[in-house]
Chain A
Amino acid sequence: MLPGLERLKIPIPLGGTSNHFKTSVLRELRGWDPFNVTEDADLGIRLAQKGYRVGIVDSTTFEEASCEAWQWIRQRTRWVKGYMQTFLVHTRRPLTMIRTTGLLGFTGFVLFIGGTILSGILNPIFWLLYAGWLVAIAAGFDPLFPQILLFLSLFNLLAGNGAFTYLSMIAPIRRGWLGLIPFSLTVMGYWFLLSVASYRALGQLLVNPFHWEKTQHGVSRHETPAVPPVEVAP
C-alpha cells in the first residue's frame, strides 16, 4: 500500500519501525508532537506539508506482531486514537492543508486516515442494520432506503469484503508464506476486532487522550529465521 501512496504523491503516515530521517529536517520540523500517540503518522503529514518527499526503501524489517487478541486490541486502540488526533489536528485548517499538500494529497489523507477511523466506527452499525434487514426481509426498510442505496450498499458489501479478503490472501504469496493463505478467510474477524479498538479509541480520546497503551512484546513463540548475512563482493 505504501508504494502506491508514494506513487500517487499522497502524504504517507509513517508508522512502526525502520523510519530513517535526516536530523536537519527533524530539527526544522521541531521534532515530533509528543502529545500525539501516533507521532510518526503526524510527522509524515507534516513532512509532506513542508514539501519533503517520503521515499519507500524496498527492504524488510522483521518485528513481533501482536499475536493475542487483547494485546492486538490495545495496540490498535492506540493507533486509531492517534489517527483521530492526527486527523483533527490537520483538518483544523483544511484550506491550508489543500494548499500545502495539493487536492490529491488532501483527499488521500482524508480517505486514508479519516476512512480508517470511520470504517471502524460505522462497521458494527452497518452490520446491525444488515442483520435487521435480513430479519425483516426488507419490509420495514424499503421506505427509508431508496433502491439506488440498496445497489450501492450491495456493491460495497460484496466488493469490499471480497477485495479485502483476496488482498489478504495474495499478500503472503509475495513472500512465499503460503501457510498464511487460509487465515485470510478470517478477515471478517479482523473487522470486528478493529471496531472494538475504534470504539475504545473514541472513548479514550474523550476522557484520556494522551494515555499511551504500551504493547507488550516478547509474547510470540514464533522465531523468524535469521536474515542471511550480507555477502561482501570479493
Chain B
Amino acid sequence: MIRAVAAAPVALVAFFMVMVLAALAMRVGFVSDDAVSLWAGAIAAGDGEVPIGRIIAAYPSMPFMATTLLEYLTPIGTPTPALIAASILSLLCFLSFAAFRNSGIGFIVATAATALTMLHPAMLRAAVAGPAEMFFVLFLFLFASGLYDLRARSAAPEVMTIGLALVGLSFSHPVGAALCIASVPFLILAVRPALAANASANMVIALIFPTVFCVGAFSYVSWVFPGSGWSFLTAPEQSLAAWSAGMSRLVGMAPTPILAIVAAIATAAALALGAPLAVTTMVRIRSRLPLVMPPLIVACAAVAAAVFTVGTGLFGDPAILLAAAPILAASILMRVPDMREHRTFALAMLALGWLGGAVGLLIMDPRIGVQARDAWTATRGDRDRVDALELGHATVGMAGVLVDTFNAPAVVLGRTQASGLIGPNNEAFSLSILFGRIDAPFVALADPQSATGAQDRINRAFPLLYRRGMKGYRLVYQNQTWRMYARADEPPRLANQQ
C-alpha cells in the first residue's frame, strides 16, 4: 500500500492530463459518437428520464452504469466521463507502480516505467475517448497479468481472475467483447500443460463460463425489458465506418473484406512499434514458455480481435486495441525476472515504445492526425457536433423542448441535463411523430441537408418545418445546423440569439 502511494505524482499528472485533454477534445468536438451517446444516455438516466429497465439493459453496461451513477451523485455540468477515465488511469498508475516495486525494481526506474507505460500515447487516447475505453484497458491489464498466474498455477483463484477479466472486457466495450471471443482459442495455451493435457476443453469451459452466462443473462434482461440491450449490434457501425474510411485513405484502397486483413497487419505492426520491449524480450526468452505464452496470447488475441471486429462489422472501432501495447510492456517488466538486471535496456525500450506508440496510433487510427492538427490550431472539427452542443447550451432554462436526442445526443451534453427535453424516450415525442401534430413549447431540428438533419426523426415527420416553420410557432434560435421554434405564447427570451 505504502509502495503504491509513492506513485501519487505520476497518478496525479495522469489524472490532470486526462481532464485537460478531455476538456479540449470536447470543446473542439472531437469526442467519438459512441462516447457522446453514452454520456448523453447517462445524463438522461441520472435525471430519471430513462426507464430503469432500459438502464439495466444498456450496453456497454459497465461504463454506462458508472457514468449514470456519477451523473446522479455529482452536480450538473460535471464532466463525468472524463472523471471516470482519469480515475481509472490513476488507479492503473498505482497498480503498475506497486507491481513494479514488488518485482524488485527501484523507485526511480519504477516511476519512469509507470510514466512511460501508463502515459503511453495509446493510453492517453483511450482515456480521452471515454470511460468505455478505460474500463476496457483496466480489464485488459487484469487479463494480461492474470495469464501469468494461470500459466504458473492454474488453480481456482487464477481461473476466477481470468473469468472476471473476460466478463469485464465483454461488458466494458464492444471491442472487448470481440477480444474475449478472439481469445478463446488461445486460452488453452495459458493453462499449465500438465492440466491442459488431461482436460483442456473443461478448463476452457471454466474460464469462459462466467462470460457466457453473463451474456445469456444480459440477453434475457434485454428481452424482459425491451430497450437498448441489442444496440451494440448496430451502434458501433458509425465508428467502424469512420475508422474504415480513415484506414482506406491510409492504405489507398476502398473498404473491402481485405480490410480485415489490413486491420490485422496494422494491429500487429502498431503493437510491435508501441511495445518493442515485448518483442525483444519474447525473442530473447523464447524457450521459457511460461513467460512467453501470456504476452503472446494477449498479442494474438488482439490481432484476431481486429480481424473479427472489422470482418463482422459488429464491434466498432478497433483502434482501442493499440492499448494492448503499453499493457504488454508493463506486464513483461513486472513478470520477467531478467528485466531487473536490464533496467537501462528496459527503460530505453519503453521510451522507444512511447515514440513508436505515437506512430502506431497514426497507423491504427489515421483520423487522429487530422484531429490533433485541428485541435492544435483550434479549428472546430465536427461542425454538426459543435452546433448541437451550442443548441443544447441555448436551451438551458427552457422546459419542453421537442428534439431528437437519440440522433443528436450532443444536445443533451450542451444543455448538461436531460430534464426539460422531450426526446424519443418520452411518450409525448412518439405521439407527436405518430399523429403529425406538435404542441410542445419549443421544437428544435437540424437542417435536412446536414448529416444530422438527414436522420432527424422530426425532419422525417415534418419535412417542411425546418425551412418554413409552423403556424403558431416563431423562430427563436438558429446556428449553421439547427433551428429552434417557440410556440407563439412563449416569452421571446431568445430573440437576441437569432
Contacts and interface: CB of A to CB of B under 8 A. Distances in A.
A169 interface: yes
Interface in B124-148: none
A162 B213 contact: yes
Interface string A148-178: 0001001000100010011001110110101
Contact of B202 (A151, A171, A179): A179
28 contacts: A151-B52, A154-B221, A154-B224, A158-B217, A162-B210, A162-B213, A165-B209, A166-B163, A166-B213, A170-B156, A170-B160, A171-B156, A173-B155, A173-B206, A176-B195, A178-B195, A178-B198, A178-B199, A178-B203, A179-B198, A179-B199, A179-B202, A181-B199, A181-B202, A181-B205, A181-B206, A182-B202, A182-B205
Contacts of A174: 155-156
A218 to B, nearest CB: 29
A147 to B, nearest CB: 8
Nearest to A162: B213
Contacts of A162: 210, 213-214, 217
Nearest to B191: A178
A16 to B, nearest CB: 22
Contacts of B155: 173-174
Contacts of A179: 198-199, 202
A151 B209 CA distance: 23
A182 B217 CA distance: 19
B345 interface: no
Interface in B152-169: 154-156, 159-160, 163
B203 A181 contact: yes
A174 B209 CA distance: 17
Interface in B194-250: 195, 198-199, 202-203, 205-206, 209-210, 213-214, 217, 220-221, 224
B209 A178 contact: no
Interface string A182-193: 100000000000
A158 B206 contact: no
Contacts of B52: 147, 151
A32 to B, nearest CB: 35
Majority SS of interface residues in chain A? helix
B419 to A, nearest CB: 21
Contacts of B156: 170-171, 173-174
Contacts of B224: 154
A51 B195 CA distance: 44
A170 B155 CA distance: 9
Interface string B367-381: 000000000000000
Interface of B: 52, 56, 154-156, 159-160, 163, 195, 198-199, 202-203, 205-206, 209-210, 213-214, 217, 220-221, 224
B210 A166 contact: yes
Nearest to B158: A173
Interface residues of A, number: 17
* Top 10 A-B residue pairs of the complex, sorted by shortest distance between their CB atoms: A178-B199, A181-B202, A158-B217, A178-B202, A173-B156, A162-B213, A170-B156, A169-B206, A174-B156, A181-B206
B476 to A, nearest CB: 39
B358 to A, nearest CB: 42
A179 B199 CA distance: 6
Interface string A211-225: 000000000000000
Contacts of A166: 163, 209-210, 213
Contacts of A154: 221, 224
Contacts of A170: 156, 159-160, 206
A23 B198 CA distance: 45
Contacts of A178: 195, 198-199, 202-203
A151 B221 CA distance: 10
A17 to B, nearest CB: 24
User: Most B CB atoms within 10 A — which of A162, A166, A173?
Assistant: A173
A154 B218 CA distance: 11
A182 B202 CA distance: 7
B32 to A, nearest CB: 31
Nearest to B210: A166
Nearest to A148: B52
A154 B223 CA distance: 12
Contacts of A182: 202, 205
Contacts of B198: 176, 178-179
A169 B195 contact: no
A3 to B, nearest CB: 14
Given A169-B209, A170-B159, A158 B220 contact: yes
Contacts of A181: 199, 202-203, 205-206
Given A174-B155, A181-B202, 14 more contacts: A151-B52, A151-B56, A162-B210, A165-B209, A166-B163, A169-B205, A169-B209, A173-B155, A173-B206, A176-B195, A178-B199, A178-B203, A181-B203, A182-B205
Contacts of B221: 154, 158
Contacts of A147: 52
A169 B212 CA distance: 14
Nearest to B203: A178
A166 B216 CA distance: 14
Nearest to B163: A166
A7 B99 CA distance: 29
B213 to A, nearest CB: 5
Contacts of B154: 173
A158 B223 CA distance: 14
A112 to B, nearest CB: 22
A185 to B, nearest CB: 8
A174 to B, nearest CB: 5
Contacts of B217: 158, 162
A166 B209 CA distance: 7
A171 B209 CA distance: 14
A136 B213 CA distance: 25
A173 B210 contact: no
Contacts of A151: 52, 56
A145 to B, nearest CB: 13
B182 to A, nearest CB: 23
Contacts of B163: 166
A168 to B, nearest CB: 10
A182 B154 CA distance: 17
Nearest to A177: B199
A169 B163 CA distance: 12
Contacts of B202: 178-179, 181-182
A170 B205 CA distance: 10
B424 to A, nearest CB: 22
